[in-house]
């Protein structure tokens, strides 16, 4: 008998035995591939509770040598019965490992000064098998061997790579192929998430050429969605929350037409003045303190540079560097993920493919990204008709993607009203407000900034639980 990995042949072997041995070989290969990605001895990981997790690389373009890095946590109980949930951070250029996994909704949170990890009792993998992806290529540990890839990044490029990642990841972990699948994310993932959902939705209709992925819906937090409404909401929020003067507010309204893809010089100047005032506070959580480490101010606003005027204009329009309840947490994440023992345990940077240090946000991507999509509202209209479950949530102290702008663009969809605007509750307190439209639920989170799972972890956990299991948020005191 001749034996090759994944292939067995023998001239006199019965067909049924041949098939059995071939399938057995296949499953042994799959198990070996998964186990090679299992995370063991992660520095600083608490010994209890036990956590089953995997990380590594998935090729998305063999010819270009392009691979995306992932970190996957099995559900803490009954993983075979729980849905699969993908999380994406935005930027563009910010890491879902450094934000979503390590400081927001993952089960292991980086501690102060990057010295270790603590268990997050509000981790979303209590309710789902939780998959984090560093996307696009060039973010975090994800890499390409073709440098020109980094000069062609746009929404379409990112969606195609994310789709290829998903298909190839499910080949490595085929036990999740039939699970209910949901996509989630925040900030500029307000583009990534619905665009990936649309790609999956469309290709599911062509099962001859594409594998079926059991997509059920998506949920996005403080999502950039429609440039006109988001920009309008940003300015109105700054004025209504006393960040800018009446005079500057009137000037912006006079010189800016946010329906234009490119702003005029007068509008750009006025908006620069708006952002300049936000440098004094944290635009991503306007009531939180700024990060001051060793006496140096490292707030979001102070990292909006650009020596090239065109780059500077793009950076100002596309500020993505986050802030939050502990505004120094990104520093701690960078200290932790740049440790060699951490990278070894996570099977990251195994061939030295990333240049320089691992960063929470890659500002070069922010500056070179080709922003070609003005609005993803047509995708919402399409996927709502397709019957997907869609939720949008918004921390109401975020100045960057404010609740005002989200309310504007949801209203612009013109959806039939299911239940009116009203309060929801957590621990006998108002957790926020919500409104239900046909096929879309909008929820606000009171006192949360741009990163809701960081600022309000218990409330965020309640939301994801309600979303995944198709339940309404609580409307009575408990």
Respond yes or no: is residue 191 known to be catalytic.
no
Which residue, chain included where needed, has tokens 């800016």?
256
The catalytically annotated residue of 37, 161, 226, 398 is: 398
Provide the pLDDT confidence category of residue 1 given band limits of 50, 70 and 90: very low
SS3 211: coil
The widest CA-to-CA distance across the chain, in whole angstroms, is 89
Provide the pLDDT confidence category of residue 10 given band limits of 50, 70 and 90: low
pLDDT tens-digit readout, 281-330: 989 999 988 877 654 444 443 333 322 333 344 444 444 333 334 567 78
SS3 386: coil
Give residue 407's region: left, alpha or beta (phi > 0; psi -120 to 50).
alpha
Evaluate if residue 86 carries a pLDDT over 90.
Answer: yes
pLDDT of residue 316: 41
Residue ranges per structural domain of the chain: 2-36
pLDDT of residue 3: 38
Most confident range (mean pLDDT) of 192-206, 254-268, 324-338, 346-360 is 192-206
pLDDT of residue 330: 83
Contact 444, 422 (CB under 8 A): no
Provide the pLDDT confidence category of residue 23 given band limits of 50, 70 and 90: low
% the chain with pLDDT above 70: 87
SS3 394: strand
Q: What is the DSSP string of 146-196?
A: -GGGGGS-BHHHHHHHHHHHHHHHHHHSGGGTTS-EEEEEETTHHHHHHHH
Specify the pTM.
0.89
Please compute the mean of the pLDDT values over residues 240-252 and round it to a whole number. Answer: 98
The catalytically annotated residue of 135, 187, 330, 406 is: 187
Respond yes or no: is residue 152 known to be catalytic.
no
Structure-block tokens of residue 21 = 């041995």
Contact 110, 329 (CB under 8 A): yes
Distance (Å, rounded) from C-alpha 291 to C-alpha 299?
6
Distance (Å, rounded) from C-alpha 70 to C-alpha 60?
12
pLDDT of residue 278: 93
Respond yes or no: is residue 273 known to be catalytic.
no
Mean pLDDT of the chain: 88
């Amino acid at each position: 008998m001749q034996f090759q990995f994944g292939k067995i042949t023998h001239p006199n072997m019965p067909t049924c035995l041949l098939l059995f041995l071939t399938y057995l070989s296949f499953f042994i290969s799959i198990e070996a591939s998964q186990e090679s990605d299992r995370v063991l001895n992660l520095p600083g990981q608490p010994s209890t509770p036990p956590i089953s997790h995997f990380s590594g690389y998935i090729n998305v373009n063999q010819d270009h040598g392009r691979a995306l890095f992932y970190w996957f946590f099995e559900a803490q109980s009954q993983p075979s019965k729980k849905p699969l949930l993908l999380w994406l951070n935005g930027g563009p250029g910010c890491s879902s490992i450094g934000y979503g996994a390590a400081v927001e909704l993952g089960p292991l949170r980086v501690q102060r000064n990057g010295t270790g990890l603590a268990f997050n009792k509000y981790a979303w993998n209590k309710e789902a098998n939780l998959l984090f992806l560093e996307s696009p290529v060039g973010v975090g540990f994800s890499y390409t061997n073709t440098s020109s890839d980094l000069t062609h990044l746009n929404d379409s490029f990112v969606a195609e790579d994310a789709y290829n990642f998903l298909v190839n990841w499910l080949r490595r972990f085929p036990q999740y192929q039939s699970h209910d699948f949901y996509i989630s994310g925040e900030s500029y993932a307000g583009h990534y998430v619905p665009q990936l959902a649309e790609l999956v939705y469309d290709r599911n209709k062509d099962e001859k050429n594409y594998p079926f992925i059991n997509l059920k819906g998506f949920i996005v937090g403080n999502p950039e969605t429609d440039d006109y409404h988001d920009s309008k909401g940003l300015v109105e929020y700054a004025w209504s929350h006393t960040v800018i003067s009446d005079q500057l507010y009137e000037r912006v309204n006079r010189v800016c037409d946010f329906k234009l893809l490119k702003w005029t010089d007068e509008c750009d100047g006025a908006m620069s003045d708006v952002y300049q005032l936000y440098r004094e506070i944290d635009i991503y959580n306007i009531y939180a303190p700024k990060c001051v480490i060793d006496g140096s101010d490292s707030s979001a606003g102070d990292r909006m540079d650009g020596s090239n005027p065109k780059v500077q204009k793009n950076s100002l329009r596309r500020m993505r560097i986050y802030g939050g309840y502990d505004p120094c947490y990104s520093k701690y994440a960078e200290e932790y993920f740049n440790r060699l023992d951490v990278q070894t345990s996570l099977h990251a940077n195994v061939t030295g493919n990333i240049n320089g240090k691992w960063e929470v946000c890659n500002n070069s991507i922010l500056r070179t990204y080709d922003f070609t999509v003005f609005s993803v509202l047509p995708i919402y209209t399409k996927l709502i008709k397709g019957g997907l479950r869609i939720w949008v949530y918004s921390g109401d102290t975020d100045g960057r993607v404010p609740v005002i702008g989200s309310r504007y663009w949801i209203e612009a969809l013109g959806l039939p009203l299911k239940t009116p605007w009203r309060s929801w509750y957590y621990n006998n307190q108002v957790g926020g407000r919500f409104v239900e439209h046909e096929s879309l639920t909008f929820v606000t989170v009171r006192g949360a900034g741009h990163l809701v799972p960081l600022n309000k972890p218990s409330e965020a956990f309640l939301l994801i639980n309600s979303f995944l299991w198709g339940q309404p948020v609580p409307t009575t005191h408990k």
